A = this chain, B = another copy of it.
C-alpha cells in the first residue's frame, strides 16, 4: 500500500544553529539524511559548520570516510550491507524523529557504527536504518559518520602543536556531533538532556572511549556497549605512546620531508604507504594509529585506568552474543548427530581439555546443541564481564548485562553471530531475510527493542515482556539472556568463559574462510 510521503519546497524544514534544513516525512516519521555537523582539515580538530542563508537539503546520506582497504561483499545473509561513496569530508549525521516540536523532548538515541575505528559507516548495515525504532519507540534516532583509520586516528603530535589531538580526530568528530545534537536536537523533537549512545563492536568501543573523554561529559547521559569490549583490540592505550615512529616511516616511504605534506597528498597514496610500512612498525611494538590514543583528552581504557568521575555516573548496558566471530560454515544435521565427529572437532579446536569445556558448555547451555561449543566466543565475553563488574563497583548508576544466545534459522541453525542482535535492537528484523522465524522473531524483537528503549528513557531496561532485570553489583553479574525464552542468570558462565579463553585459538582467522566461500571467483 502506498505510504504517506511529504516533501515540499518548504516542508519539513527545521531551523538549526547554522541554518535551515529540509528533510522529508514518511508515514509520520520525519527523516533528515546527510546533515553536516562539522568540518575538518585532515588531522585537525573539527570546527562548526559555517552558517548559510536559505534552506539546505538533507535528503541524501553523506560521504563515508575512505578506508585502508576496499570493502569486499561477504556474509550478506548474515549481515546485509550498504556501501556508499567515500570522501574524507565525512562529518554527517542522519535523524529520524516523530516530532519537530521543541517541547516534545523525546529521548535521543545516537548510534555509533562498528568496523573497529577503521571501517564501516552510519548506513553500512541495512539494519542501521532508524525509521522503525523511532516510530515504534517514539524516540529520536541519530546515526553518524566520522573520520576513521589513519584519517581519524594517527598521532602527529610529535610534529607540531596543531596536531596535538590528531590521534583522536575521529573521536573528536563524534564529540562535535554530540555538541551539534546538544545545540540543535530540541528542534527535532529531542531532549538534549537525555541522550543515549549505543554502538556495536567498534561502535561499542566508541561508547566507552567517549565515557572516558571529559570533552563529552554532559553531552550524553547513558551508554550501551554491544559486543564492544574486546581483548587486545584498542592499541595506543598508553600515554607513553606516540606517532613518531609510524609518521617517520610514512614520510620516508613517501619521500617527503615535511609532515605538512601529509595533509594534502591524495588519500589513496597515503593509505598505500601506510599499508606498506605499518606492519614493520607494528613489529617493533610501536603505536601505528588506527585507534584512539590515550592522552589528556581521552583518558584511556577504564579496565586499565579506571572510570572517570563522569563515567561512574552513567548508566550502562553491556552485552555480547554467544557466537560473535564464529562465521565459519555451520554443521549439517548429520554432522551434529555424529558424536564422534563432534568430539574430534572439539579436540582439534580446543586440545585435551576440550572434553571438559564441552561438559561445562552442556551444563551452562542445556538447551543448545553441544556442537555449538565449537562456535562460542570468549574474546568479547570475558572483557565484557570484567567491564561490567568493574563498572558495577559504582552503584550510583545502573550497570546492566545481557547475552544473546538465540539460534538463527540460517544454515540449518546458527548461534548468534557478531552483529546479529542489531536488527532486533533497531526493530528491523523485517528488513533482514535471515532474521525471520515465524512465532519467534517478533516477540524477541519487541523484548530487545523495548529494553533498549526503556534504558534510553530512564536508564532501566526492564519491560513488560521480560522477567525483572536487576542491575549488576560488584559480585553479581545479573545477565539477561535473550533467546526464545528470556531469563536472568547470575554469574552463570564465568568458569566456562575462562576455560574457553584459555583453550580457544584466536577467532580473527575464521572470517577469511567464509569470505572465500561467499564470493565465487
> Which A residues are closer than 8 A to B by beta carbons?
1-10, 24, 26, 31, 33-36, 49, 56-63, 70-77, 82-86, 89, 268, 329-330, 332-333, 409-412, 429-430, 433-442, 517-521
Top 3 A-B pairs, shortest CB-CB distance: A60-B76, A2-B441, A5-B436
Interface pair B434/A7, CB less than 8 Å apart:
yes
Q: Which residues of B contact A74 (CB under 8 A)?
A: 60
Chain B hits for A332, CB < 8 A: 9-10
Residue of B nearest to A2 (CB): B441
Is A84 a contact of B83 with CB atoms below 8 Å?
Answer: yes
The answer to whether residues A3 and B73 also contact, given A9-B330, A332-B9, A518-B59 and a CB cut-off of 8 A, is no
Partner of A2, one of B31, B35, B442, B517: B442
A82-B82, A441-B2 are contacts. A58–B520 as well, Cβ < 8 Å? yes
**Contact B58 A8, beta carbon cutoff 8 Å:** no
Residue among B31, B56, B85, B518 making CB contact with A60, cutoff 8 Å:
B518
Shortest Cβ distance from A115 into chain B, in angstroms?
14
Which residue on chain B has the smallest CB distance to residue A443?
Answer: B2
Nearest-neighbour CB distance to chain B for A280, whole angstroms, equals 23
The reply to whether B86 and A70 form a contact with Cβ atoms under 8 Å apart is yes
A77 in contact with B7 (CB, 8 Å): yes
B residues near A73, Cβ cutoff 8 Å: 34, 60-63, 84-85
CB distance from A444 to the nearest CB of B (A): 10
Q: In the complex, given contacts A2-B439, A7-B411, A61-B76, what are 5 additional A-B residue pairs having Cβ atoms less than 8 angstroms apart?
A: A2-B440, A2-B442, A26-B436, A59-B76, A83-B85
Whether A434 touches B5, Cβ cut-off 8 Å, given contacts A36-B520, A73-B63, is yes
A84, B80: Cα distance in complex, Å:
12
Contacts A9-B330, A9-B412, A59-B76 given; indicate if A438 touches B4 (C-beta within 8 A): yes
Say whether A520 contacts B34, CB under 8 Å: yes
14 cross-chain CB contacts under 8 A: A2-B429, A2-B430, A2-B438, A3-B436, A8-B412, A24-B433, A35-B520, A49-B520, A56-B517, A58-B520, A59-B76, A60-B73, A63-B519, A70-B85
Q: Is the CB of A62 within 8 A of B1?
A: no
Contact, CB under 8 Å: B8 / A411: yes
Distance of A436 Cα from B1 Cα, bound (Å): 9
Contact of A518 among B57, B71, B410, B441 (CB under 8 A): B57
**CA separation between A9 and B520, bound complex, in Å?**
17
Q: Which residues of B contact A76 (CB under 8 A)?
A: 33, 59-61
Residues of B within 8 A of A61 (CB): 73, 76
Q: Given A59-B77, A74-B60: A1 and B430 within 8 A (CB)?
A: yes
Chain B's nearest CB lies how many Å from the CB of A102? 23
A430's partner among B3, B59, B412 (CB-CB below 8 A) is: B3
Report Cα–Cα, A347/B24, bound state, in Å. 33
- The docked-state distance in angstroms from the alpha carbon of A430 to that of B2 is 6
Residues of B within 8 A of A57 (CB): 517-518, 520
Query: Could you tell me the distance in whole angstroms from the C-beta of A423 to the nearest C-beta in chain B?
Result: 11
B residues in contact with A3, CB < 8 Å: 430, 433, 436, 438
Q: How far is the CA of A61 from the CA of B71 in the complex (A)?
A: 13
Q: For A34, list chain B residues within 8 Å (CB).
A: 73, 519-520
Q: How far is the CB of A12 from chain B (nearest CB, A)?
A: 13
Are the CB atoms of B77 and A2 closer together than 8 Å? no
Residues of B within 8 A of A77 (CB): 7, 24, 59-60
Which B residues touch A409, using CB under 8 A?
Answer: 5-6
Q: Within the assembled complex, what's the spacing in Å between the Cα atoms of A230 and B75?
A: 39
CA–CA, A120 and B465, complex, Å:
46
Determine the chain B residues whose CB is within 8 A of the CB of A35 once the complex forms.
Answer: 520
Complex: A84 Cα to B86 Cα, angstroms: 12
Asked if residues B70 and A9 are in contact (CB atoms below 8 Å), the reply is no
Question: From A331, which residue of chain B is reached at the shortest CB distance?
Answer: B9
Query: Contact at A89–B59, with CB atoms within 8 Å?
Result: no
Which residues from chain B contact A10 at a C-beta distance below 8 Å? 332
In the assembled complex, the CB of A131 is this many whole angstroms from the nearest CB of chain B, namely 10
**CB-CB < 8 A to A442: which residues of B?**
1-2
* Given contact pairs A7-B411, A84-B73, A437 touches B2 in the complex (Cβ within 8 A): yes
Residue of A63, A77, A84, A435 with highest tally of chain B CB at under 10 A = A77
CB distance from A437 to the nearest CB of B (A): 6
Given contacts A7-B411, A83-B83, is CB(A56)–CB(B520) below 8 Å?
Answer: yes
